[in-house]
Amino acid sequence: MKTNIKITKIDTKKEIRNDGNFNQMTLFEVDDNISPEDLKNYCSEVKSDYQNGYFQILVFFKKADRARFPDNPLTGMYMEDEDLKNIKASYTINNINGYSKLDYYENNSFESLVQTMDIN
């Protein structure tokens, strides 16, 4: 079992929706070798901290100095190759219908196939 897995919060951005609710994205830095199980456990532990708003999106980057918010609306996620090459995982919570999933990438979201896990 791995110990000392590093997950560091970088920044949070909130966008107000037309219906008065909001979407929020939080950026994190993680160890490049973090396992899907480590991230799944982390997301399960912190899910209760992200129960406000409509969508909560947690994005896990491999390098903090390359982490940034997307140019388009938060729910549109990332489109630029340079961003995708630095994303290790993303966790999406829909607080309206309870949908909650983690998308994990072995290398990054540009080169790797997604492994999707439901988070209860």
Dump pLDDT digits (tens) for 69-103: 998 888 888 999 999 999 999 999 999 999 999 99
Which band of pLDDT confidence, cut at 50, 70 and 90, is reported for residue 1? very low
Structural element, H or E, at residue 114:
strand 114-118
Contact 103, 53 (CB under 8 A): no
Residue ranges per structural domain of the chain: 7-118
Give the Cα separation of 80 and 94 in Å (integer). 24
Name 42's Cβ contacts closer than 8 Å, sequence gap at least 6: 5, 7
pTM for this predicted structure = 0.93
